[in-house]
Amino acid sequence: MKLTILGSSSALPTSERYPSAHVLNAHERLFLIDCGEGTQMQLRRNRIRFGKINHIFISHLHGDHIFGIYGLLSSLSLMGRKTPLHLYAPANYRRILFSHLEDFDIKLSFEIDFVPLSKNDPEQILDDKYLTVTAFPLDHRVPAFGFLFREKPADRNIIKEAIEKYNIPGVRIPAIKKGGDFTRDDGTVIQNSEITTSPPEPLSYAYCSDTKYFRRLASFVKGVTLLYHEATFDKSMDSLASITGHSTTSDAARTALEAEAGSLIIGHFSSRYKNPAVLVDEAREIFPLTYQAVDGKSYIVGDMDQA
Ligand SMILES: [Zn+2]
Ligand SMILES: [Zn+2]
């Protein structure tokens, strides 16, 4: 899985930072998470193909997370898209979206499959061949949701030499890859562990923006490989963070620590920080494996050395 940050700014874009948008590439399928203003320009700049995006996840209805969607939908239509687009967003967005399309006389060339988010508990919203996606509630000024992308365990790897040694017919291999033992014609059973090796651990990515700190959040993303958590403010701005429903660097790092996350990326930086590196330094005091979200940068989930 590869994550590309398209925007790392909070409310006000800066000359270096666009508002929130992430693209997760999982097995060559692209998932767009939030769609702040300028997302389609950032997609072009980073050579990400619009047509490969079939799922868009909107965390909440604040402009810095959604103002880019109207332009993107319009462009997809102008490009002649036919494939349905799955859109996951707070339930009340359905009315706003379709009313907007009608008001602006936009007749899309494709269907929108709108999936409403409204639950107070984690809810699985997507389940396909390779992964599941779960939406979970955040604590913000308006209903807001985080998203957890979790790979499904891959099949076991069959050992080539074992195929020859036990003369395993091809037709039996799929069941063995799923963990089954191999029974020979004479009735002897070869244990699965003798003829296969374990696949790599499934990876996961969680997106948490916007939210203030709350204890339950860590349990929603427990053990996640890579956690993205907003850190709008430095730790001295605790009270402003609380009033505005946002997190400080300490809040983000604390959640990563409590969740036992593999690594943490912080973003959604207030425009008052010219250089967010100071925020990363603060977070690292609590959670050393913290990285800065940088517009246009890609990160390999589970291998941040390649970041
Ligand atoms: Zn925001
Ligand atoms: Zn917000």
CA of 60 to the centre of ligand 1 (A): 8
AA letter at 52: K
AA letter at 189: V
Q: Which ligand is nearest to the CA of 145?
A: 2
What tokens does 284 get? 């690292």
CA of 101 to the centre of ligand 1 (A): 24
The DSSP 8-state label assigned to residue 26 in this structure reads E
CA of 62 to the centre of ligand 2 (A): 5
Q: Are 90 and 60 in contact (CB under 8 A)?
A: yes
Q: What is the pLDDT of residues 106-148, one digit of tens each?
A: 999 999 999 999 999 999 999 999 999 999 999 999 999 999 9
Distance CA 5, CA 160 (A): 40
Catalytic residue among 34, 64, 234, 295: 64
pLDDT at res. 82: 97
Average pLDDT over the chain, rounded to an integer: 95
For the question of residue 64 being annotated catalytic, the response is: yes
pLDDT at res. 35: 97
pLDDT at res. 305: 80
What tokens does 92 get? 């009340």
CA of 302 to the centre of ligand 1 (A): 26
**Cα three-residue angle 77-80-81, rounded to 5 degrees:** 75
Distance CA 140, CA 135 (A): 15
Question: What's the predicted TM-score (pTM) here?
Answer: 0.92
pLDDT at res. 300: 96
What is the pLDDT confidence band of residue 64, given thresholds at 50, 70 and 90? Answer: very high
Q: Are 167 and 151 in contact (CB under 8 A)?
A: no
Distance CA 57, CA 109 (A): 20
Q: What is the pLDDT of residues 2-34, one digit of tens each?
A: 999 999 999 877 788 999 999 999 999 999 999
pLDDT at res. 14: 79
